[in-house]
């Protein structure tokens, strides 16, 4: 998709806020603890390359992505730190990871055996791997000491570097800690079954580091949503310390007209004016990730909340103005304007989803502007 640089709609990213969130998290961790910054899905919509470059200055120990292609994007941009692909990478392309010093997640001995026989003889560099442990997420990894040991035995082959081991928690952001505690115990049992541990052990995600720091027995934390300044639980749990949201979404008025009583707006004519009012058209819509489900919500203009009128269109939307305002007037769809604020969690509540989906939903058509 082409980036619409010549249209006045954009995503604004505060890189200093992201850096500050990481520094404050690091200060809460035991000495010598490391942070792997999760920049998958284009850094949750913030821009993976720009975020990674900013975090090198903090610094962080490395980065986590979802796919090998995301890792290669960072390498092409000059990111030299550890990069871990969290998802499963097909064996047949895993040699590309070895050639670019990208670490891969492995979940079973069969994958390792296939790589050792089919791919390793064809590449010059060993493949660094992080063994996934399924402590209760039910997604990837070894579930028993026997499964874990089978993978570790495969890693004795010279084609591998046993760089790390990790798990992921399903309920660390929920009020009831019982399932989380079961996962922690399962993780600890599997770690204890190893005769030798790899350099990177990571079991804590954003929620674990925020609400369960006393359970962290590993030396590395994967920092995701909290790095971008948002509560992993939405509104489920209160934050133990303030976070600094990094993303805003902004546009500008493209057209203004007076709507007369009895006249309607947008598809389906679902909104009809009861009295004369000023209406602005905005050059942004659901193709940009400002979801159609936000129809009837609000935006911010000159520090005031303004209602969205009628259905949100693919590329445009209409709002009620408090008065006639000029074309080019700034509008905040997510972020701070004066004393008012609309957060990703606010939008998520309106959409009956989570703030993660809101952040990652803003399309690449919207240019990212950094400060």
Q: What is the sign, positive or negative, of the torsion defined by CA atoms of 304, 310, 315, 318?
A: negative
Question: CA 135 to CA 163: how far, in whole Å?
Answer: 19
Does the domain formed by 247-370 have CATH 3.30.1490.20?
no
Place of tokens 């690091």: 26
Asked if residues 295 and 311 have their Cβ atoms less than 8 Å apart, the reply is yes
Picking from 61, 57, 51, the residue whose alpha carbon sits closest to that of residue 29 is 61
pLDDT of residue 131: 98
Other Cβ atoms less than 10 A from the Cβ of 93: the count is 11
Given a cut of 90, is residue 31 above it in pLDDT? no
Catalytic residue status for 40: yes
Catalytic residue (one of 124, 200, 267, 297): 267
pLDDT of residue 86: 98
- Coil, helix or strand at residue 228: helix
Question: Tell me: the pLDDT tens digits for 311-363?
Answer: 999 999 999 999 999 999 999 999 999 999 999 999 999 999 999 999 999 99
Question: Tell me: the pLDDT tens digits for 16-28?
Answer: 999 999 999 999 9
Write down the pTM of the prediction: 0.96
Instruction: Domain ranges for the chain, please list them.
Output: 33-228, 247-370
Beta bridge partners of 82: 62
Answer whether 33-228 and 247-370 agree in fold.
Answer: no
Known binding-site positions for substrate: 139, 314
Catalytic residue status for 250: no
For the 33-228 domain, the top CATH level (class) is alpha beta
Known binding-site positions: 139, 314
Place of tokens 């004066």: 338
Question: Tell me: the pLDDT tens digits for 86-110?
Answer: 999 999 999 999 999 999 999 999 9
Asked if residues 252 and 8 have their Cβ atoms less than 8 Å apart, the reply is yes
Catalytic residue (one of 23, 40, 200, 271): 40
pLDDT of residue 29: 93
């Amino acid at each position: 998709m082409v980036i619409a640089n010549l249209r006045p709609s954009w995503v604004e990213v505060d890189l200093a806020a992201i850096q500050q969130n990481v520094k404050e998290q690091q200060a809460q961790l035991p000495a010598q603890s490391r942070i792997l910054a999760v920049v998958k899905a284009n850094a949750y919509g913030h821009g993976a390359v720009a975020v990674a470059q900013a975090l090198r200055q903090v610094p962080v120990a490395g980065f986590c992505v979802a796919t090998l292609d995301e890792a290669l994007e960072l390498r092409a941009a000059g990111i030299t730190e550890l990069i871990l692909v969290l998802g499963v990478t097909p064996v047949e392309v895993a040699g590309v990871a070895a050639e670019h010093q990208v670490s891969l997640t492995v979940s079973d001995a069969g994958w390792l055996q296939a790589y050792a026989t089919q791919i390793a003889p064809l590449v010059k560099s060993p493949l660094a791997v992080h063994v996934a442990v399924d402590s209760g997420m039910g997604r990837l990894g070894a579930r028993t000491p026997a499964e874990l040991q089978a993978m570790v035995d495969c890693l004795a082959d010279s084609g591998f570097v046993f760089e790390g081991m990790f798990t992921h928690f399903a309920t660390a952001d929920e009020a009831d800690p019982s399932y989380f505690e079961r996962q922690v115990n399962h993780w600890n049992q599997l770690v204890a079954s190893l005769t030798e541990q790899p350099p990177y052990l990571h079991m804590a995600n954003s929620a674990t580091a925020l609400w369960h720091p006393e359970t962290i027995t590993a030396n590395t934390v994967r920092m995701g949503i909290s790095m971008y300044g948002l509560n992993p639980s939405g509104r489920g749990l209160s934050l133990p310390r303030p976070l600094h949201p990094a993303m805003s979404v902004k546009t500008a008025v493209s057209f203004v007209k007076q709507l007369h009583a009895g006249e309607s707006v947008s598809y389906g004519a679902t909104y009809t004016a009861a009295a004369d009012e000023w209406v602005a058209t905005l050059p942004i819509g659901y193709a940009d990730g400002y979801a159609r489900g936000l129809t009837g919500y609000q935006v911010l203009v000159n520090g005031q909340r303004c209602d969205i009128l009628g259905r949100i269109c693919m590329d445009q939307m209409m709002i009620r103005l408090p008065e006639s305002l000029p074309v080019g007037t700034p509008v905040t769809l997510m972020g701070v304007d004066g004393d008012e604020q609309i957060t990703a969690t606010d939008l998520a509540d309106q959409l009956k989803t989570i703030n993660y989906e809101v952040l990652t939903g803003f399309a690449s058509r919207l240019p990212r502007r950094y400060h």
